Amino acid sequence: MPIHDDNIQIAVDGDTIDGTIVTPGAKMPAVLFVHGWGGSQEQYLARAREIAALGCVCLTFDLRGHAGTLPQHDTVSRENNLHDVLAAYDTLVSQRGVDRAAVAVVGSSYGGYLAAILSSMRPVQWLALRVPALYMDSNWEMPKRQLHKGQDLGTYRQTLIPAGENRALRACANFHGDVLVVESERDAIIPHAVVTSYLDACAEPRSLTYRVIKDADHGLSEEASQRAYTALLVSWMTEMIFGSREKGKPTLATTMPKSTLPEAPPTPA
């Protein structure tokens, strides 16, 4: 199946951010990829091409404060980046042929946190969260770079947080689609308590899949870890997409890109 990449500009708050639409010959479900803090859309392009080959329209994009808008890195807030994610979602579902009732959102770290919140603001059928970060609801419009100074995130993330006390977790509690949560075994940034808080918050999903990538760090810096995550994500998306098309269980895809960039640099999420 031919795959096409189209560079696009996404308008948000009077500014623009760069994105890449990856489409198959026949457009069906849609998948939005949200990178982590300090990352870029390049980190998901290879995986977007893999999933587009299943018959999906995929969109990767750069959050403000990254890549072409790096000068905003010190001033961009969670509110700004949530607007980016909303604008990217709206751009994706506006593409001709997209099934608006079959949208997946895939997020890593900070991107997973934003993806969870997005699910409470737009229709999402499938939600894939890899090492999702967690922040206090306070100081919402503070520059994201300053959150580690304004919030005791070290202590906060070592504590099990009830869903009702956090915006992202509340969104998960109210999400009724299919969920994938992926943890890194040797994550020095997102502790197990954060992952447990997300899992506990997903009280009534249609399905919940939880996997741990053995020996992986937060940013998937080893090639083996990246390949393991790609295989897991592509297999899960294959099951979700084909499962929505027919009653029978699909044959899971096993192809993987030979190499991809790390998900995120080893900096605070």
Task: For residue 76, give the CATH number of its domain.
Answer: 3.40.50.1820
% pLDDT > 70, the chain: 89
For residue 250, pLDDT beyond 70: no
pLDDT in tens, 204-242: 999 999 999 999 999 999 999 999 999 999 999 999 988
Whole-number average pLDDT of the chain = 89
User: Looking at the domain assignment, is residue 144 inside a domain?
Assistant: yes
User: Would 263 be classed as within a structural domain?
Assistant: no
Q: Is 22 within the bounds of a domain?
A: yes
Cα–Cα separations (whole angstroms), residue 238 to 51, 102, 115, 176: 8, 13, 20, 19
**Predicted local distance difference test score (pLDDT) of residue 246:** 62
Q: How many domains does the chain have?
A: 1
29 close to 55: Cβ distance less than 8 angstroms: yes
Q: Which residues of 198-207 are buried (b: 16+ CB within 10 A; e: fewer)?
A: bbebbeebee
Residue type, 89: Y
Number of helices (H), then strands (E), in the chain: 8, 8
Does pLDDT of 113 surpass 90? yes
Instruction: Return the pLDDT at 268.
Output: 66
Would you say residue 23 has pLDDT above 50?
yes
Q: Tell me, yes or no, whether 184 lies in a domain.
A: yes
Query: Does a structural domain hold residue 180?
Result: yes
In a domain, 251, yes or no: no
> Residue 126's domain spans which residues?
3-245
Eight-state DSSP code of residue 115: H
Q: Would residue 236 count as lying in a domain?
A: yes
If you ran DSSP here, which 8-state letter would residue 77 be given? Answer: B
Summarised one tens digit per residue, pLDDT across range 41-86 is: 888 899 999 999 998 999 999 999 997 888 889 999 999 999 999 9
Is the predicted pLDDT of residue 249 greater than 50, yes or no?
no
Q: How many CB atoms lie within 10 A of CB 264?
A: 26
For residue 102, pLDDT beyond 90: yes
Tokens matching residue 82: 């949530």
User: According to the model, what pLDDT value does residue 15 have?
Assistant: 93
- Closest by CA to 31, choosing from 83, 97, 76, 98, is 98
Tell me the mean pLDDT in the region 198-205.
Answer: 97
Q: Considering the entire predicted model, what is its pTM?
A: 0.84
Residue 254 lies in a domain: no
